[in-house]
Amino acid sequence: MISSSSDVAVSLDGLGKKFRLTHDRNWTLKATMLAGHRTRYEEFWALRDLSLEVEHGQTFGIIGGNGSGKSTLLKVLAGILRPDEGAATVDGRLSALLELGAGFHPELTGRENVYLNGAILGFTAREIRRRFDDIVGFAELDRFIDEPVRNYSSGMYVRLGFSVAIHVEPEVLLVDEVLAVGDLTFQKRCLDRFAQLKAEGRTIIVVSHDLDMVGWLCDRTAWIQQGALQAVGPSSKVIDRFAIGADPTATTVDAGDEGRPAFERLSPDDLVKSVALIDPNGHPTDAVGSGRKISIRVRYDGQAAGEPVTVALGLYRADGTHVASINSGATTRGIARSDRAPDGEAAGELVEVDYVVSALPVQPGTYELSVALHDASMRRVLERHTHILRFEVSPTGIDPQNGLVALGGTWEAR
Amino acid sequence: MLNRLAGSLQIDLLVNLTLRDLRSKYKRSALGWTWSVLNPLVAVVVYSAVFSVFLRIQPTTGDPSGLRSYAVFLLVTLLPWQFHVTSLTEATRSITANGPLITKIWFPRWVLPTSAVLARFLTLLVEMAVLLLLIAVLEGHFAFTWIPVVLMLMALQLLFTVGLALMVSAANVYFRDVQHFLGVALAPWMFLTPILYPLNMVPADREFLGIGYRTLYQLNPMVSWAEAYRNALYDLRFPSAERWLAIVVATVVVLTVGFRIFRRLEPRMAEEV
């Protein structure tokens, strides 16, 4: 469908873009004359030394914190900003969804604006006429298309803008966080449309803060921070790294006792003495296969707690998504008490409990565990350790899978 | 081949942006397009009263038409002049006013000032047609055979104005003074162009730094257009070769320089706008 001589759709070669932070911009001719062309300004590199390639047909995510240069990069790709260093080349017809309905004129009708916006995006009138019904249908604005757009709700406005841009049939589509708008139904239809464009072999570059969406939609992802490339690779890996890197607690990452990275070190005064993953053979581990058996072992000082406790575990994905919480409810309530031997001598102040998962039902990725001890009635928190343990869930099986949970199903030919 | 030419000239985009300007101009006004006729009408009444009745400026007698009418004498130059003023005023702001568009979508920026001029040009076409009919009916003055000459002059004026529009619109992105300066400059420019009075009222026997007043005066390219329009529509004769030469040279120079300046200033427009 998309034919091209080269495989590379978008290529950045040592790209740099600087802005001038002017302290007192000479907005008038007189001021410039008097200052003798010496406007005082600071240079600020929004992007520096950025090199990467996106292949045709790939869906590529760009993630990074606010002010990291993501949007500047899209504007350079879209040709709105000119690079100061290096080069950005795009192979094929390009459409940029930087702001929906940016070219709309409020006094004109929806119909007139469709033609206007289409022309701005590089369409001929005939091309728009051919797609007009599709555009209006997708935006669900059939009844309002001859109304001036100033009477549109913001949702209608955005839907029409999206619909025009998406029907341009670009070979390379740039999308900047535009899915944050519109209601859920519309968002879903947008995603469906992206999936369709993807299936048609078009190249899509998405800038988003929505890591789930990037992970779901994009084959590869680049993480940009302060205008520099931090990581590029398969989406799930880069997103995991970004989620960890962006986590302020991660700055204190150090090796745990068993060489395992632990965010939070336990102090000797803590009730919780250790938290570990135990493989089916009874050995501590820091990785587990998706769908495999694993135990989470918590040891705590039952004596010091002085009362029966409830153990609670929280499982989070590295990007912070809450996967599951479990608490021992009734199970451990009696443990501390029973460990107190009838003779009064506390032979085992240390209580050890295992939470045994027979088949870990999560997708591959990096996960974090938090542990809390509550009183038996769960009204008080005795101690809480967030991010006490980080571990990898590795892929198992041969068929690719994605998402949050591992369904654990099997394919059977019939 | 033809398609590619249409593509590089951005015909579709120009048409759409021009239509946008025309359609949105009189939206939500009761009189609508009547305003664009009222405007020159009021001007011609006021100018005729002041310059013809109070100041007693005599229009030249049309040669060979023999016509002596201040209103016609005035209108045939006033309409092109008003096109000149309004196009430049609107084109100057065309890029700064479309800031949101410039920073969000890439498209050739020159179409913005050009479409602003084109929108006004379509208005001028209508006004000129109305003018020709009016002077035929009211004055019994038939200038229809000179339409091809007038169209030629108008086409050249369009290109000339586009050249100027490119300069001022690009410069205005960097210095907002341009739009104010233009407001100040256009009034004296009008009085230094033979619109309200005939060219022969400019003294030919006085000199400034050794150059005759009238020679200096004619450095203003708009003088050539005013005289040429008047030749075709008032005198009913073909403008002289010198006029044509001045007009063509002014058009080529201004359009070339305009495009050069625009190209230079274009890359950083999205940052400065």
Nearest CA in chain B to A18: B271
Q: What is the mean pLDDT of residues A353-371?
A: 88
- Mutual angle of helices A125-139 and A110-120, in 10-degree steps: 120
Q: Look up residue A274 and give its amino acid.
A: S
For residue A32, list chain B residues with Cβ-Cβ distance below 8 A: 175
* Confidence band for B3, pLDDT divided at 50, 70 and 90: low
Which of A22, A29, A39, A84 to mutate: most B Cβ within 10 Å?
A29
Residues 6+ positions from A307 with CB-CB distance below 8 Å:
A336, A375, A376
Q: What is the mean pLDDT of residues B101-127?
A: 91
Burial label for B67, CB within 10 Å (0-12, 13-18, 19+), is buried
User: Looking at CA atoms only, how far is residue A204 from chain B in angstroms?
Assistant: 17
Higher pLDDT: A314 or B251? It is B251
Asked if the model's pLDDT at residue B152 lies above 90, the reply is yes
Residue A243: name the closest of A38, A390, A79, A36 by CA: A390
pLDDT of residue A145: 92
For residue B16, list chain A residues with Cβ-Cβ distance below 8 A: 115-116, 118-120, 125
Closest Cβ opposite residue A96 in set B27, B100, B105: B105
User: Looking at CA atoms only, how far is residue B62 from chain A in angstroms?
Assistant: 46
For residue B176, list chain A residues with Cβ-Cβ distance below 8 A: 27-28
Closest Cβ opposite residue A108 in set B20, B101, B175: B20
Task: Summarize pLDDT for A116-174 with one digit per residue, the tens.
Answer: 888 888 888 888 899 999 999 988 888 999 998 989 988 888 888 888 888 877 888 88
For residues A61 and A231, what is the distance between their CA atoms, to the nearest angstrom?
12
Q: With an 8 Å Cβ cutoff, are B28 and A28 in contact? A: no
For residues B109 and B88, what is the distance between their CA atoms, to the nearest angstrom?
16
For chain A, list residues whose CB is within 8 angstroms of any CB belonging to chain B: 19, 27-30, 32, 75, 78-82, 96, 98-99, 102-103, 105, 107-108, 112, 115-116, 118-125, 148
Which of B105, B178, B266 to mutate: most A Cβ within 10 Å?
B105
Complex ipTM: 0.77
For residue A121, list chain B residues with Cβ-Cβ distance below 8 A: 105, 107
CB contact at 8 A, A87 and A15? yes
Give CA separation, A8 vs A90, A172, A203, A225, B93, in Å.
Answer: 8, 11, 10, 24, 40
For residue B270, list chain A residues with Cβ-Cβ distance below 8 A: 75, 80-81
CA dihedral A383, A389, A390, A394 (to 10 degrees): -120
User: Looking at CA atoms only, how far is residue A331 from chain B in angstroms?
Assistant: 59
Closest Cβ opposite residue B177 in set A19, A28, A78: A28
| Percent of chain B whose predicted confidence (pLDDT) is above 90 | 55
* Confidence band for A343, pLDDT divided at 50, 70 and 90: very low
